[in-house]
Amino acid sequence: MTKQGVRIPIALFWLLSVPGSLWPQNRGDTATSYSPFVKLKSVDLGDARWTRGFWFNKFELCRNVMVHRMWEVLQRPGNGALFTNLRIAAGLQKGEFQGKNWSDGDVYKWLEAVAHVYAITREEKLDRLMDDVIAVIGKAQAPDGYISTQIQLTGRKRWERPGNHELYNMGHLMTAACVHHRATGKRNFLEIAIRLADYLYNVFQPRPVELAHFGFNPSNIMGVADLYRTTRNPKYLELAGIFVDMRGSAPGGSDLNQARVPLRKETESVGHAVTGIYLYAGATDVYGETGEQALWDALERIWRDVTAQKMCITGGVGAIHYGRSSRQDPVHEAFGTEYQLPNRLAYNETCANIANAMWNWRLLGVTGDASYADVMERVLYNSMLSGVGVNGTEFFYTNVLRRYGAEMPMMRNDSLQRWTDNTKTPYGFCCPPSVVRTIAKVHEWAYSVSRNAVWVNLYGSNLLKTRLPGGTSVVLAQRTDYPWDGKIGVTVQEAGSEPLDIMLRIPAWADGATVQVNGQPVADSAPRPGTYCRVSRLWRAGDRIDLALPMKPRLVVANPLVEELRGQAAVERGPIVYCLESPDLPEGVRVEHVALPADIRLEPRHEPSLLGGITVLEGEARYWQDGNWAGLLYRFLSPARYHPLRIRLIPYYAWANRGVSHMTVWMSLVQ
């Protein structure tokens, strides 16, 4: 263990001394090829790609619309994030700083998205665009490696206050630079990141007490870990460990940004959800290199607290706008207390939801436990996608589970409809580039590999061409209409000359799944919900695996301790959470009038021309006439007058694309 607190196994020191230039390319999303405590390695950028269907359509929208429209928005005066700030800092134009303190980081997230897209499309115009942007960033960087335009252009002092978000911006720069290097092989952006990391090492390696509570939103931990995995320079792993150790290391810290209690002693998820899960994800990266048990124990405790007590059915986290932690610190955009999961007042920032998926992707890599992939998938299909409209150009900051149109007051950062920019609103612009970079790389999370196995994490029509850590070349073709259909076919095109394990994730909801190989049931491994089903063979070209996941609609109820959800139910089908939206109701019937019979039969029907192509659920529900509640808070109970009502439910992610509407995920449950 180094004196700075990073626990590095003795057997690894000889590896860490090898110069980075001598290491073979390490090109996965999280670049874990050489991470000793990561069980499932990420495949290289470009090894997997969508070929048709749900995620192919989303990727094409990202490629053709999202990255280009966002680049336009990043030039608009008054937007919360502006590339202009970097041009001014580079001396290429005159002007003053505009936007939020985290503006630079949002530009870097957009650049990361472009790099992920380029890894698939190899479009020269994207390569040129990235080079042009990187050249500006390089000119904006100070000679000592520092870069953060909200400081450079305003005359503020460096490291004056955590809320200036210097480390947040820098973390996203380092991650984007590593992805760009893996996608292109170029070092122009990577060298900027190296100069920055060297500067940060010189500032933080002595562990000055006055900087104990930096930074507020710690993307820097993931960024430095990315840089370590890319360059293999051990001082960057040391720096990542220092950043983890700093949280809670000195008096005066707050639960708001997880700085009151050292991470290894923490017992719950607390405070601002984005800063929290960025911390947990970065710490998971550090664990993947060091294997420190105390760190892992803390991460497991916190994960159980999130998923068993504080996560919405959509995978959304950070449910409260304002409140106090269990230790009575003021918090906002934060985890609530146990089982505090509101509907209309839910916050669930898009960035926090995506961070939840990022963290579970890392936990999956460390363990191979399908529980983490289940959470990752829940976020991707629900609370991540709800953050963007079906047109790919409009975004939500918060993700409520119930909305009453304009009739009820909204909370901080809520909006009636998605927005393209925030030139006329107080919102930050952090969520849109988070969505875009996630859609740009979902295919990279679809598969993982271990020495003699391919792990199928996400389903969708795609092609995988990769090489296992043991050297075996593997080519798999997946074809399916998932998530609308549970039939999944995987054709083996190449798998080497030795037996190979193909690990199929069986979602926790998929009770009754079946697996066949070449039309015959698999006898050696029965599929169990919430696990990976191992199918091991000496494969020949043309062999086919058929996985059937049951897609019957399900009613879901919450733990009775969730007071906001007592007596209510939600609807899921496959990985999709559904909602009821007012455009699908007759005049005079409101979403709060509708109740679900416990034995309701919901029939799926695919609507290819509705909301980008969705499967709706239709069935016979009930609605009740409750009279006029104007001026009343309570009244005497009278027999409920329920009437039959034919309803149509849509995927939650697709709501708010048909004008201002009312919507609810949770509905009253009647016998």
CB 161 within 8 A of CB 215: no
Backbone angles phi, psi at 128, to 5 degrees: -65, -40
Residue 629 burial (C-beta neighbours within 10 Å; 0-12, 13-18, 19+):
exposed
Q: What domains, with CATH codes, occur in the chain? A: 10-16+33-444 (1.50.10.20), 446-548 (2.60.420), 554-670 (no CATH)
Q: Work out the mean pLDDT of the chain and round it to a whole number.
A: 93
* Tokens of residue 400, six digits: 């409520």
- In 3D, which of 398, 308, 402 has the Cα closest to residue 667? 402
For residue range 604-656, list pLDDT tens digits in order: 999 999 999 999 999 999 998 777 788 899 988 777 678 999 999 999 999 99
* pLDDT value at 16 more than 60: no
Mean pLDDT, rounded, for 214-241: 96
For residue range 508-542, list pLDDT tens digits in order: 999 999 999 999 998 777 899 999 999 999 999 99
Mean pLDDT, rounded, for 130-158: 97
Q: How far apart are CA 205 and CA 220, in angstroms?
A: 14
What residues contact 187, with CB distance under 8 A and at least 6 apart?
181
Amino acid 152 reads Q
Q: Give bridge partners of residue 517 from the DSSP assignment.
A: 520, 545
For residue range 344-393, list pLDDT tens digits in order: 999 999 999 999 999 999 999 999 999 999 999 999 999 999 999 999 99
- pLDDT score, position 641: 77
- pLDDT score, position 530: 97
Residue 617 in 3-state DSSP?
A: strand
* Tokens of residue 439, six digits: 């859609």
pLDDT band at 199 (very low <50, low <70, confident <90, very high): very high
For residue range 308-337, list pLDDT tens digits in order: 999 999 999 999 999 999 999 999 999 999
- If phi over 0 gives left and psi between -120 and 50 gives alpha, with beta otherwise, what is residue 324? beta
Q: How many CB atoms lie within 10 A of CB 206?
A: 11
For residue range 98-141, list pLDDT tens digits in order: 999 999 999 999 999 999 999 999 999 999 999 999 999 999 99
- pLDDT score, position 14: 31
Q: Whole-prediction pTM value?
A: 0.95
Angle at which helix 273-290 crosses helix 234-246, to 10 degrees, equals 140
- pLDDT score, position 26: 63
- pLDDT score, position 625: 77
- pLDDT score, position 642: 84
Mean pLDDT, rounded, for 147-161: 96
Which ranges in 159-272 belong to alpha helices (H)? 166-184, 188-204, 219-231, 234-246
- pLDDT score, position 18: 37
Mean pLDDT, rounded, for 208-225: 93
Mean pLDDT, rounded, for 215-243: 96
- pLDDT score, position 12: 41
Backbone angles phi, psi at 396, to 5 degrees: -105, 145
CB 320 within 8 A of CB 564: no
pLDDT band at 10 (very low <50, low <70, confident <90, very high): very low
pLDDT band at 1 (very low <50, low <70, confident <90, very high): very low
For residue range 600-615, list pLDDT tens digits in order: 999 999 999 999 999 9
- pLDDT score, position 523: 75
For residue range 17-35, list pLDDT tens digits in order: 333 333 345 677 778 999 9
* Tokens of residue 101, six digits: 């303190």
- Top-confidence residue, 428 or 221: 221
- pLDDT score, position 500: 96
Q: How far apart are CA 109 and CA 101, in angstroms?
A: 15
For residue range 275-301, list pLDDT tens digits in order: 999 999 999 999 999 999 999 999 999
Residue 550 in 3-state DSSP?
A: coil
Secondary structure letter of residue 612 according to DSSP: T
CB 461 within 8 A of CB 53: yes
Q: How many CB atoms lie within 10 A of CB 327?
A: 13
* pLDDT value at 562 more than 60: yes
* pLDDT value at 5 more than 50: no
